[in-house]
Structure 1
Amino acid sequence: MSRYLSPLLLVLLISACSSEDPCDEAPRCDESEALNCEVACTVGPCSTGAIFQQCDQGTTCTVVPGDRSDSRFYRSRAVCARSLNVCDPATAPAPTCEDGRFVVGCGAHRRDIRAFCSQAALYFKKVPTCCLNGGGDGGVADGGTDGGTTDGGSTDGGTADAGNSDAGPRNPDAGR
């Protein structure tokens, strides 16, 4: 009996130590938590890696399709939607900041959403200035309002972060 127990324990130990990469299953909703994964950011502010966001404050997690014809917003995303109805970002009011850490409004994925300021450029064509000017989450202080493209054509969110693709230091709101 003990000769079967040792290999069984070894298998259990190995399987318990294997690390699962949450990015393999992104985008997804786990009850009220949205999971997205960024391997690189070409427009700041945004952070790389697995990004978990708790959908609270009256929001609902839903996965929305990307626009395959848009080079910036082509990816599907798990979003914290304030409404599941489709909206038009061209005619909707400009997105606004909430609590200094979040941005709310009609995003490029055609939903009224609530997202981290540090991820605003992944969801909105025009990032609110409060997110860009150090909104407490690694925003870039280049004065632009479109996620970094008004600073002379730079696509990395400006130069305040020395060109780092993640637009600055990691922040407590950019994941768990």
Structure 2
Amino acid sequence: MPRPAPLLVLLVVLTSACSGGDLCAQAPRCDDTEALNCETACAVGPCSTGPTVQDCGEGATCTVVPGNRNDARFYRSRAVCALELTACNPADAGTPVCEGSRLVRGCSAYLRDIRVPCSQAGLYFAQVPACCQGGDGGTDAGTPDGGRPDAGPGDGGIPDGGALGGDAGR
């Protein structure tokens, strides 16, 4: 019985190794106009777990920004769809606003003016607009009682803002 040519075997192995891949192992990453991120768990909502690919759309540029190592919530580096590449200050910018198609725009904790799906807003903004919140329509993104420091422990927010799909990317 003839044996397959070594080159053919090598080609099959390389093709199968590259064909799916673990997207979470590749995140954060920019591919032209797409931002790839991965979240394994959600401490605050809204947030979806697993890999997400967001098409930045017109007027936005995908860029990877470092997280703040001193912040327990925003410590990870992220691929973001930046509307401006210069840094912004979230304290001066005000609360993010909702755009059509369940998108949120504003100055994120990553110091960039960005656009993200509502299902991922809790990963980028300290305050999330009411249009992205389930139930009570609050804007505190899981902080204790609207963010009041004397209110005691919070509920941790919504554990999962929804399954992949819809507005969570692909």
Shorter-normalised TM range: 0.7 to 0.9
Q: Is the 8 A contact 1:100 1:130 kept in 2?
A: no
Give aligned pairs, total.
Answer: 161
TM-score, structure 1 as length reference: 0.82
Structure 1: segments with no counterpart, 5+ residues: 133-139, 158-164
Q: Is the 8 A contact 2:119 2:162 kept in 1?
A: no
Which residue is equivalent to 1:112? Answer: 113
Q: Does 1:129 align with 2:137?
A: no
Quote the Cα distance in structure 2 between the aligned partners of 1:72 and 1:49: 17
Give the 4+ runs in structure 1 shifted more than 4 A: none
Provide the aligned C-alpha RMSD in A: 2.1
Which residue is equivalent to 1:136? Answer: none
The one-letter code of the counterpart of 1:116 is P
Q: Does 1:141 align with 2:135?
A: yes
- Secondary structure in 2 aligned to 1:167? coil
- Secondary structure in 2 aligned to 1:69? coil
Q: Is the 8 A contact 1:129 1:143 kept in 2?
A: yes
Which residue is equivalent to 1:16? Answer: 15
Q: Which has the higher contact order (CA 8 A, sep 6+)?
A: 2
Q: Does 1:3 align with 2:3?
A: yes
Q: Does 1:64 align with 2:73?
A: no
Per-residue CA deviations over 1:5-51 (Å, capped at 9, x if unaligned) read 2x544443344334311111211111111111111111111111111
Percent identical pairs in the alignment equals 57
Deviation at 1:77, TM superposition (A): 0.6
Q: Is the 8 A contact 2:24 2:37 kept in 1?
A: yes
